Amino acid sequence: MPVSVFAITLKLERAIWLTYWQIMKNKSTKTIALLLTELTRNNNCRIFAELKKEATKQKVNLITFEGRTLQSKSYADKQRNFAYQLINKARVDHIITTSAAVPDSLTSKQFDNFFNGKTEQLIINYYLKRPKQHSIRVNNSTGSAQLVEHLVNHHKYEKFIVIRGPVRDANANQRFATTISSLEKYNITPVELQATWDSQASIQVIKNIIKDYPDYQAVIFPNDETAIAALDYINNFKPEFKGRFAIVGFDNSENAKNISPQLTTVDHPHAAMAQKALELINTQPSEYVDAIFNTTAVFRGSCGCHGHIEDTCPTQRLFTGNYNIEENIQALSHDEYFEKLSIALSERDILSCSICLYQSEPFKLEATTEVPQVSKLAFQYYNGTRQTEYENQAFDTALILPDDVYQQKQPQCLLVKNLFYNDAHFGYVVFDLCQGRIQDIEDLIVNISTTLNIIYLFEKMQSALKENERLVASLAKDNTNLKAISATDEMTELLNRRGFYQAICQRIENTELTEFSLIYADMDKLKYVNDTFGHQAGDLAIEKMANVLKSVFRATDIICRIGGDEFVICAFIADENIVQQMTQRVNSELAKLTDLEFKISMSFGIYLCKLSEDFDLENAIKQADKKLYQQKQLKKHGLIL
């Protein structure tokens, strides 16, 4: 092996080993994938916040994949759930699922099918137990019992309505059953109404309560989401019912403190749960752990208590005009948009943002659609600066981010959101949420998907316009060519009959011409040449004649091959003698030709045209042809040469 090739091979091997070593080094920081339905909703915010705190403390990466309920039949939900497809073992070591994202209605087989190969190790289920997996659950009954005890003993309520959550959800059923049995202890039989976990169903329920049970005292909702929606409905649409019912929830979500009155609810010990999750990840026990945490009631204003006003979310920040996303981040080119986006990200204290676009064209989701293999890092922002040096690199989508970008900071707290507009899926965005407000992400993702889609369509439209212009120009050129072709005799490149008529009419119209000569010319004895020397020799003779005509007559004269061996020349000379001399010159030039096996000559008929109102070109040509015929006759009878 030559020394230089050997050196290059060594260099390449070194590069591969270095990359491998880097990935392994990087792998030593464990990564947890967290599957969540909307991060800003309900209980998710708190699950995320505590896991983030714990992961940071223990130097573990946390990547949150935001989707909807995995089994949802709705197309909109399925579109969101495409984010879960990005989970894979190249980046992820462990998975934490939540019951909202991966519900208990998912069979073990369906679960295995979905998660098979996405990670090699530990899976922890939040809020539900699955065979051969760890779980972190809450004991709903402790908090429920405290809540009921407070409503009955402290507030002396007697008439209760209990709202049931989704019928097939184990957590909802447990909450419902423990509330009913707690009330039974006080000999209270409540009215039972059906809802789901969602605010839409809850609004219908509160409308029914206002209509059918206006004298009831306490309404126990299955979760905070539904309780908050009911309070919000009363605040906005039925203020006369404000404070008429005690309304309580379950989950102690972030919004429980943001609604008025603040919500009495049941708290999950999220900090302890997150600590347990990280402990399981660190110790990886061989036995499957089912950790259950007691819930406790939290009393605020919505049950009728007073003096429990708490601060609202401490990260809540008021926007000023400068923060208005719609007005400030609009652009029709990637570069301009990414510059504006960088400013918006730094104003919002978001640590990093990577926009990854699939290399393939945008696609509509089908049941079997898989994540495209190759992506391009279209935009990279980190800690206040756009990092153009990382942009435009193609990478394996399984890595979620190119390795050099992924390694910028460890541990990290990433959020992966699917990027699509209407039906068209075209990539995903990865934010680092170590700092900044998660609420801002919602605005940003809408802005990113809309703007990128507009830019995509705009660029497509521009290239279609360019293509159109190119086609129009090429059509115009073809048209000119076609016109020339349709007016030209292919063999001699002289004008053909059509070209001749066009040219002569144009000349008559555009000049103050009064007289000119029309010459009808015909080759002598072409038939004989054809018969004796072959048709090709005849063709060659015609071409030679055309060339001689071109050389003898002036460029301004109009020469045409009117058919076969016949030519018509329009010479702008009114003196017949001069024209005669020119035709003689044609024959003397033809006689000089030495590259033919035979001699050729032409006969001519000359007709002097005088232009007047009733000038008839057809007739003039006929007259010239007649003169030609006379000359042919004279030649035949040997009267002239």
Ligand X SMILES: Nc1nc2c(ncn2[C@@H]2O[C@H](COP(=O)(O)OP(=O)(O)OP(=O)(O)O)[C@@H](O)[C@H]2O)c(=O)[nH]1
Give me the residues that bind ligand X (CB under 6 A), please.
522-528, 530, 535, 538-539, 542, 564-565, 632
Location of structure tokens 């036995």: 287
* Cα 235-240-246 angle, rounded to 5 deg: 70
Q: For residues 197 and 567, which CB has a smaller minimum distance to ligand X in the complex? A: 567
Distance set, CA 295 to CA 148, 196, 298, 613 (Å): 13, 21, 10, 112
Distance set, CA 418 to CA 67, 78, 127, 257, 373 (Å): 8, 11, 25, 30, 15
Q: For residues 57 and 535, which CB has a smaller minimum distance to ligand X in the complex? A: 535
Please count the other Cβ atoms lying within 10 Å of the Cβ belonging to residue 244: 14
Q: For residues 244 and 525, which CB has a smaller minimum distance to ligand X in the complex? A: 525
Q: For residues 224 and 522, which CB has a smaller minimum distance to ligand X in the complex? A: 522
Q: For residues 32 and 568, which CB has a smaller minimum distance to ligand X in the complex? A: 568
Distance set, CA 30 to CA 47, 205, 289, 303 (Å): 19, 45, 20, 44
Q: For residues 405 and 529, which CB has a smaller minimum distance to ligand X in the complex? A: 529
Q: What length is written for the chain?
A: 641
Quote the least distance from Cβ 525 to ligand X, whole Å: 5
Quote the least distance from Cβ 502 to ligand X, whole Å: 22
Q: For residues 214 and 534, which CB has a smaller minimum distance to ligand X in the complex? A: 534
Q: For residues 383 and 530, which CB has a smaller minimum distance to ligand X in the complex? A: 530
Q: For residues 193 and 494, which CB has a smaller minimum distance to ligand X in the complex? A: 494
Quote the least distance from Cβ 539 to ligand X, whole Å: 5
Quote the least distance from Cβ 540 to ligand X, whole Å: 8
Quote the least distance from Cβ 563 to ligand X, whole Å: 7
Q: Residue 620: which of 547, 472, 520 has the closest Cα?
A: 520
Q: For residue 144, report the phi and psi dihedrals to the nearest 5 degrees.
A: -60, -45
Distance set, CA 118 to CA 109, 545, 622 (Å): 15, 84, 92
Distance, in Å, from the CA atom of 126 to the CA atom of 99, rounded to the nearest integer, reads 6
Distance, in Å, from the CA atom of 34 to the CA atom of 356, rounded to the nearest integer, reads 20
Quote the least distance from Cβ 611 to ligand X, whole Å: 30
Distance, in Å, from the CA atom of 334 to the CA atom of 319, rounded to the nearest integer, reads 26
Quote the least distance from Cβ 466 to ligand X, whole Å: 45
Q: How buried is residue 600: exposed, middle or buried, by Cβ count under 10 Å (0-12/13-18/19+)?
A: buried
Quote the least distance from Cβ 560 to ligand X, whole Å: 14
* Cα 457-459-464 angle, rounded to 5 deg: 95
Q: For residues 466 and 535, which CB has a smaller minimum distance to ligand X in the complex? A: 535
Q: For residues 79 and 492, which CB has a smaller minimum distance to ligand X in the complex? A: 492
Quote the least distance from Cβ 581 to ligand X, whole Å: 22
Distance set, CA 237 to CA 163, 231, 240 (Å): 21, 10, 9
Quote the least distance from Cβ 565 to ligand X, whole Å: 5
Distance, in Å, from the CA atom of 143 to the CA atom of 265, rounded to the nearest integer, reads 9
Looking at the DSSP bridge assignments, the partners of residue 220 are 162, 248
Quote the least distance from Cβ 601 to ligand X, whole Å: 9
Please count the other Cβ atoms lying within 10 Å of the Cβ belonging to residue 202: 26
Which residue, judged by CB position, is nearest to ligand X in the bound state? Answer: 538
Quote the least distance from Cβ 602 to ligand X, whole Å: 9
Quote the least distance from Cβ 521 to ligand X, whole Å: 11
Distance, in Å, from the CA atom of 21 to the CA atom of 104, rounded to the nearest integer, reads 40
Q: How buried is residue 560: exposed, middle or buried, by Cβ count under 10 Å (0-12/13-18/19+)?
A: buried
Q: For residues 273 and 541, which CB has a smaller minimum distance to ligand X in the complex? A: 541
Structure tokens at 86: 């990005």
Location of structure tokens 């001689």: 548
Q: For residues 50 and 625, which CB has a smaller minimum distance to ligand X in the complex? A: 625
Q: For residues 181 and 633, which CB has a smaller minimum distance to ligand X in the complex? A: 633
Distance, in Å, from the CA atom of 80 to the CA atom of 58, rounded to the nearest integer, reads 30
Please count the other Cβ atoms lying within 10 Å of the Cβ belonging to residue 364: 12
Quote the least distance from Cβ 495 to ligand X, whole Å: 16
Q: How buried is residue 415: exposed, middle or buried, by Cβ count under 10 Å (0-12/13-18/19+)?
A: buried
Distance, in Å, from the CA atom of 272 to the CA atom of 45, rounded to the nearest integer, reads 16
Q: For residues 6 and 528, which CB has a smaller minimum distance to ligand X in the complex? A: 528
Three-state SS string over 515-566 comes to EEEEEEEEECCHHHHHHHHCHHHHHHHHHHHHHHHHHHCCCCCEEEEEECCE
Q: Is the dihedral of CA 163, 167, 172, 176 positive or negative?
A: positive
Q: For residues 77 and 539, which CB has a smaller minimum distance to ligand X in the complex? A: 539
Quote the least distance from Cβ 459 to ligand X, whole Å: 55
Quote the least distance from Cβ 576 to ligand X, whole Å: 23
154, 192 contact by CB (below 8 A): no
